[in-house]
Amino acid sequence: MAEYIGAVDQGTTSTRFIIFDKNGRIVGLDQKEHEQIYPEPGWVEHDPLEIWANTQEVIRGALLKSGIKGSQLAAIGITNQRETTVVWDRLTGKPYYNAIVWQCTRTHEICKELMENGGQDRFREVTGLPVATYFSGPKIKWILENVPEARAAAERGDALFGTMETWVIWWLTGGPKGGAHVTDVTNASRTMLMDLKKLEWDEDIMKIMGVPRQMLPRIVPSSDAATWGSTDEHGPLQARVPVCGAVGDQQAALVGQTCFTPGEAKNTYGTGCFLLLHTGHEPIPSRHGLITTVAYQFSGRQPSYCLEGSIAIAGALVQWLRDNMGMFEDAAEVEELAKQVENTGGVYVVPAFSGLFAPYWRPDARGVIAGLTRYVNKHHIARAVLEATAYQTRDIVEAMNRDSGVPLTSLKVDGGMVRNELLMQFQSDVLNVPVTRPSVAETTCLGAAYAAGIASGFWNERSELIENWQEDRTWSPRMEEETREQGYRGWKKAVDRTLNWVE
């Protein structure tokens, strides 16, 4: 009897497999980090074969720890770090190059060339995206131009492109023995190659980017029982389990938070930070530096869209303080350090490590610590590091309020950083809206499980999912208006200091 749903979350820093019961409660979990490869400043890569090995290991690990068998899973769903690009050989499964990670800035020159003809908004009307190093299209172009053999193989139809859900699903469903080569609409909407309304690859952009159609996966809904087939019974699940869902991780969190109604928003605080506002069945173009993207598509239904504010560095700044500055050993310790002082002593940290993403889109920006005086100590820096995430979120909310014309009135939050209560209170203060954390913080995996569970009939109605959502805690604003606005003015000045750094 299939009593559970499983979900793979192939994230930027780790891969996990979580098993959920019908109430959306976690009954099994395993997780493994993978290596971050930095071959040059600003470049970030992952080894796709390490990621596939880790995926198998965490699936086996979660089953073993929970005593659940693969055959007890009604279906599985996949969620993933988006944009990260792999090109591999269809006969052997061997990657032509490491996966180029979403944070990687190596396509700066390619993007500059693309912008020469039409500027940063050249493809925005069709794709919803500005030209930026963040997205997959320029990363594919880089691989085809820089890896010997890759272009010829792509033109012959031997080289396949995929984002991480495509890569993992291909392997799970048989790999070289005929694995499914598909991408879901949410991931495809991050490539800068898909027409946002038609949900098809755009011929003109493919030509401009020099990407042969043969290498692109088929675009499918995020939740569907008939698309992907089943897992290989000789694989880590040791059973044929239908793959019924695939959703990019930030959209999966939106589903996991059950933001099914236009106007609902969530913010996920992980390596980066991603605020998504559900806007309904029509894509709304952004005029204030946000992205228009697909929120999800359930089989047989119209797609839903959202406006997204993407922040490249959030929890990664805490990791930087831990690993590069050696200030503590565990990310959670940053809260205790920051609590030792009432404020940052006038210091701001702007983590423009890979330029600034939304709403600025400035690849020429680099990080700054502004406002240093002899008075400032590590406690102030720790506090400023946390505040940076809250201020970056405020930048996004300001842009979103202007784009949607409706001010945000509350925010659902999730991700690794929301354990930090100091940050959550400050977030509520600088936004001047209540901030609510759900009791299941693993909303990303839960969203992928929901996508798979709805398609497989494990859950029948979205209302069942909404019933599963439970509040853990809400923080309400308690900061004086003047303090809030003065703090934010300082932040804007600090952001200015990061610009025009890279020549």
Ligand X SMILES: O=P(O)(O)OC[C@H](O)CO
Ligand Y SMILES: Nc1ncnc2c1ncn2[C@@H]1O[C@H](COP(=O)(O)OP(=O)(O)O)[C@@H](O)[C@H]1O
In the complex, the residues that contact ligand X under the rule CB under 6 A are 11-12, 81-83, 102, 248-250, 270-272
Instruction: Give whichever of 248 and 355 is closer to ligand X, judged by the CB atom.
Output: 248
* Helices of type H across 240-377: 249-256, 315-323, 333-339
Distance CA 242, CA 226 (A): 9
Q: How far is the CB of 270 from ligand X (least distance, A)?
A: 4
Q: How far is the CB of 109 from ligand Y (least distance, A)?
A: 28
Instruction: Give whichever of 193 and 446 is closer to ligand Y, judged by the CB atom.
Output: 446
Q: Give the Å distances, CA to CA, from 279 to 253, 284, 436.
A: 16, 7, 20
Instruction: Give whichever of 165 and 195 is closer to ligand Y, judged by the CB atom.
Output: 165
- Of 441, 435, 440, 320, whose CA–CA distance to 386 is shortest? 320
- Three-state SS string over 398-449 comes to HHHHHHHCCCCCCEEEECHHHHCHHHHHHHHHHHCCCEEEECCCCHHHHHHH
Residue 102 contact among ligand Y, ligand X, none, beta carbon within 5 to 8 Å by kind? ligand X
Instruction: Give whichever of 230 and 251 is closer to ligand X, judged by the CB atom.
Output: 251
Asked if residue 84 binds ligand Y (CB under 6 A), the reply is no
Instruction: Give whichever of 205 and 381 is closer to ligand Y, judged by the CB atom.
Output: 381
- Choose, by CB under 6 A, the member of 319, 401, 425, 432 that binds ligand Y: 319
Specify the 3-state DSSP secondary structure of 369: strand
- Choose, by CB under 6 A, the member of 179, 242, 315, 438 that binds ligand Y: 315
Distance CA 150, CA 135 (A): 19
CA atoms within 13 A on the CB side of 54: 22
Q: x/- site string to ligand Y, residues 264 to 303, per CB under 6 A? A: ------xx--------------------------------
- Of 74, 102, 81, 64, whose CA–CA distance to 15 is shortest? 81
Binding-site sequence positions: 12-14, 16, 82-83, 134, 249-250, 271, 315, 319, 416, 420
- Choose, by CB under 6 A, the member of 13, 36, 72, 238 that binds ligand Y: 13
- Choose, by CB under 6 A, the member of 199, 208, 239, 331 that binds ligand Y: 331
Burial 36-56 (b: 16+ CB within 10 A, else e): eeeeeebbbbbebbbbbebbb
Q: How far is the CB of 246 from ligand X (least distance, A)?
A: 13
Binding-site sequence positions for ATP: 12-14, 271, 315, 319, 416
Distance CA 73, CA 136 (A): 32
Binding-site sequence positions for ADP: 12, 16, 271, 315, 416, 420
Q: x/- site string to ligand Y, residues 335 to 374, per CB under 6 A? A: x---------------------------------------
How crowded is residue 359: how many other Cβ atoms within 10 Å of its Cβ?
Answer: 21
- Choose, by CB under 6 A, the member of 221, 303, 415, 447 that binds ligand Y: 415
Please say whether the beta carbons of 44 and 12 come within 8 A. Answer: no
CA Rg value for the chain: 22
Residue 400 contact among ligand X, ligand Y, none, beta carbon within 5 to 8 Å by kind? none
Residue 420 contact among ligand X, ligand Y, none, beta carbon within 5 to 8 Å by kind? ligand Y
Q: How far is the CB of 57 from ligand Y (least distance, A)?
A: 17
Asked if residue 419 binds ligand Y (CB under 6 A), the reply is yes
> Which tokens sit at 246?
């695939």
Bond preceding residue 359 cis, omega within 30 of 0: yes
Please say whether the beta carbons of 396 and 413 come within 8 A. Answer: no
Q: How far is the CB of 126 from ligand Y (least distance, A)?
A: 29
Place of tokens 């589903």: 255
Please say whether the beta carbons of 124 and 115 come within 8 A. Answer: no
Residue 319 contact among ligand Y, ligand X, none, beta carbon within 5 to 8 Å by kind? ligand Y
Select from 96-104, 151-159, 180-188, 411-419 the region that touches ligand Y (CB under 6 A). Answer: 411-419
Interface contacts to ligand Y, rule CB under 6 A:
11-14, 270-271, 315-316, 318-319, 331-332, 334-335, 415-417, 419-420
